Chain A
Amino acid sequence: MTKFITKHKKTFAITLMMLPGAIWLLVLRYIPMGGLVIAFQDYRPFPQNPTFLNNILNSRFVGFDNFRFIFATDRAWNMIRNTLAYNAVFIVLTTILSIALAVCLSEIGSKFLAKTYQTLMFFPFFISWVVASYFVFAFLDPTFGVLSHMRNWYLDPAGWPVILTISHLWKSLGFSCIIYLAAITGIDQGLYEAAAIDGASKWRQVWAITIPSIKPMIIMLFIMAVGRIFNADFGLFWNIPMNMGPLQNVTEVFDTYVFRVMQAPIAGAIGMATAAGFFQNIIGFVCILGANFIVRRVDRENAMF
């Protein structure tokens, strides 16, 4: 035994390090996965002894009935289209703009200004969507709004895709920018030195050193974002348009739809909510495998697995 440990000392030590996280994952992520079974059940408490296990064992299986509500309206495709389209646009714009911002910040000569900019960029992160919706409202308010002379914004869907995209970028750029910035900070400065000696321009240095160095991070964030392409930001799509019916064609996404439906007095909403989450998981899983497959083709080294 001792021999075994000595031989595999390194593996053993590192595995010890993995344990706290692994145990956490096992208990708080893997064990609950067993509960996914209620997505296929008419889940009800078992009156005699209502523990979770008993409830599951005694609930009726209903196949895919709980999933039916997702496609229950003839607008289902509209809602799915919105979810995918918004997220696709968000992923592309966020990636490009936050890298650009991070590079710009890293090149700023004044440390003080760079810090100030960066601090300010993080403020949207603290402002909840409810509060942010008041700010948007200040501009679009039909009575007092600065832009209300143009049209009644809250009754006219035109313009909302842009408003929502801007709102999303405003909130998320500071977040992804800081990750890229930290990645840039970690780049070995010797590389730049060597490039400067070779006479490479700043622009050239960005393309030849900065971008390749942070490529693992770009790819990783991209794959992870693709995995959540069917999970819309509920707060954004619910609060900013103020839940206005006439805007639904361009503002309804999967998460808002599910929330809306759950407001109906339906016995058995647990099964439906679980089914909705499961549906999102499956789509996310397929997308992430697809993205990873493409990355593997292009750049094997940086693929997730």
Chain B
Amino acid sequence: MDIKPARKYRGNKLSASAEFAIHLIVGAFAIACIVPFIFIIVIAFSSAESLRTIGYSFFPAEVTITSFRAAFDMGDTLVRSFFVSVFVTVVGTFLSLLITILYSYGLYRKDYKLRHFFAFFVFFTMVFGGGLVPTVIVIRNLLNLGNSFGALIVPSLFLPFHVIIMRTFFVTSVPTSLIESAHIDGSGEFRTLFSIVIPLAKPGIATVGLLTAIGFWNDWQLALLFIRDRRLFPLQYLLMEMQQNTEFLRRNLTMIGSASGINLADLPGEGLRMALAVIIVLPIACAYPFFQRFIISGLTVGAIKE
């Protein structure tokens, strides 16, 4: 059974002036969002000399590709971390979506007897947590997940925030009557979920999926807590380490001085850090349209000017 969304139709169209105003406001905000990224690209292409003499500028005194070359000189490290990030993101997002959908479905079903219990069960963990130390101990000692891919995936498999969002999507986009009629047709719970609810809630699932994927991609804290083997460092952690080292060294400068031999000149230049920041964004930006298809396409079908 395949439910097609009702034909999109938006009745009267916006007036030309209203449409123009919307483009102006939304467009301006969109540009404000992308400009800093362009700025980062510019810095990544600026020479160190330029950064020193005229500061951060959209118009560098001198353009160079040294930073990107330095980034790619990291070679193996970079490639390996890239694949760690991709693997964690793909596997993590898939598993996380699955668990989240299953759990949210129960919360969405008003006729499910244990609904209130499970709703509170998940909600309570949003406000209360055991703190860092006990959580780390459970993951490392009880689940034995230290220094492995599991440590990068399992701890963020199931986020209460996403469950509640997902449930709300089910509530707003799947009419209860559909579920009832499916049951009268003799459809089992799993079939109802997969053939009725999920197709209807595609925009919501895509949204949660996107948020989950970004969460996995951007995460560096799990690596910080659990990963000791450099070969398992995700991309974000490489960047984080570079950025934090500068700050760390500054705080400890007076101490390090005596501990001669740590050469401050070896710190990654800003250009390299920016180049890495650019490299990190690109893959997920490419994956973005995949999710977006489900979020936007349903929306504007009826509004295309015929």
Interface residues of A (CB under 8 A from B): 10-11, 13-15, 17-18, 20-22, 24-25, 27-36, 38-39, 52, 101, 104-109, 111, 113-128, 130-132, 134-135, 137-138, 141, 143-145, 170, 173-175, 178-179, 181-190, 192-193, 195-197, 200-202, 205, 213-214, 216-217, 220-221, 224, 227, 263, 270, 273-274, 277-278, 281, 284-285, 288, 304-305
Judging by beta carbons under 8 Å apart, are B103 and A201 in contact? no
Interface size, chain B (Cβ < 8 Å): 123
Query: Min CB distance, A245 to chain B, in Å?
Result: 14
CB of B26 within 8 A of CB of A123, answer no
B70 at the interface (CB under 8 A from A): no
Interface: B261 (CB within 8 A): no
Determine whether B225 belongs to the interface, using a CB cutoff of 8 Å to chain A.
no
Q: Roughly how many angstroms separate A117 CA and B298 CA in the complex, as a whole number?
A: 16
Chain A's closest residue to B170 (CB) is A186
- Among A111, A187, A273, point to the contact of B172 (Cβ < 8 A): A187
CA of A217 to CA of B165 in the docked complex: distance in angstroms?
Answer: 7
Q: Which of B39, B137, B305 contacts A138 (CB 8 A)?
A: B39
**Closest A residue to B284 using CB positions:** A126
Interface residues of A: mostly helix, strand, loop or mixed?
helix
Q: Are B100 and A185 in contact (CB under 8 A)?
A: no
By beta carbon, the residue of chain A nearest B36 is: A135
16 pairs, A vs B, C-beta closer than 8 Å: A11-B113, A28-B154, A29-B130, A33-B134, A109-B300, A111-B299, A111-B303, A113-B23, A114-B299, A121-B30, A131-B277, A138-B57, A144-B56, A183-B169, A221-B165, A281-B128
- Residues of chain B with a CB closer than 8 A to A106's CB: 299-300
> What's the least CB distance linking A77 to chain B, in Å?
23
What residue of chain A has the Cβ atom nearest to residue B167's Cβ?
A220
Q: How far is the CA of A109 from the CA of B288 in the complex (A)?
A: 21
Residues on B facing A (Cβ under 8 Å): 5-14, 18-19, 22-23, 25-27, 29-34, 36-37, 39-40, 43, 54-58, 98-100, 102-103, 105-106, 109, 111-114, 116, 118-123, 125-135, 137-139, 141-143, 154-155, 157-158, 160-161, 163-165, 168-169, 171-173, 175, 188-190, 193, 200-201, 203-204, 206-207, 210-211, 214, 218, 239-240, 243, 251, 270, 273-274, 277, 280-281, 284-285, 288-289, 292, 295-300, 302-305
CA A89 to CA B193, docked complex, whole Å: 39
Contact A120/B33 with A217-B172, A224-B164 known, Cβ cut-off 8 Å: yes
Residues of A within 8 A of B138 (CB): 27-28, 31-32
Q: Which residues of B contact A175 (CB under 8 A)?
A: 211
B residues less than 8 Å from A288 (CB atoms): 127
Choose one: A13, A116, A125; the contact of B214 (CB below 8 Å). Answer: A125
Considering the complex, give the chain B residue whose CB is closest to the CB of A193: B9
In the complex, are the beta carbons of A137 and B114 less than 8 A apart? no
Q: Assess whether A119 is in contact with B292, with CB atoms less than 8 Å apart.
A: yes
A187 adjacent to B173 (CB under 8 Å): yes
Q: Which residues of chain A come closer than 8 Å to B239, judged between CB atoms?
A: 128
A180 and B283 CA atoms in complex are apart in Å by 25
A141, B129: Cβ atoms under 8 Å?
no
Closest to A12 in B: B189
The reply to whether A144 and B299 contact each other, CB–CB distance below 8 Å, is no
Contact B214 A22 (CB under 8 A): no
| Complex: chain B residue closest to A178, CB-CB | B207
Asked if A217 and B168 make an inter-chain contact with CB atoms under 8 angstroms apart, the answer reads: yes
In the assembled complex, the Cα of A140 lies from the Cα of B130 at a distance in Å of 40
Contact A34 B134 (CB under 8 A): yes
A213 / chain B contacts, CB cutoff of 8 Å: 172
Chain B residue with the shortest CB-CB distance to A301? B171
The contact of A35 among B5, B137, B165, by CB within 8 Å, is: B137
**A281 touching B30 by the CB < 8 A rule?**
no
Tell whether, in the assembled complex, residue A14 and residue B6 are in contact, meaning their CB atoms are under 8 Å apart: no
- In this complex, what residue of A is CB-closest to B15? A202
Evaluate contact between B56 and A174: CB separation under 8 angstroms: no
Q: Write out the residue numbers on chain A whose beta carbons fall within 8 Å of the beta carbon of B303.
A: 107-109, 111
| A-B contact sample (18 more), CB < 8 A, given A126-B218, A195-B11 | A25-B125, A31-B138, A32-B130, A33-B134, A104-B25, A107-B22, A117-B27, A120-B30, A123-B33, A123-B34, A126-B281, A127-B281, A128-B277, A138-B58, A183-B172, A192-B10, A216-B168, A284-B127
User: Chain A residues near B37 (CB, 8 Å)?
Assistant: 123, 126-127
Note all chain A residues with C-beta closer than 8 A to B100: 21
Smallest distance from the beta carbon of B279 to chain A beta carbons, Å?
11
Contact in complex: B206, A182 (CB < 8 Å): yes
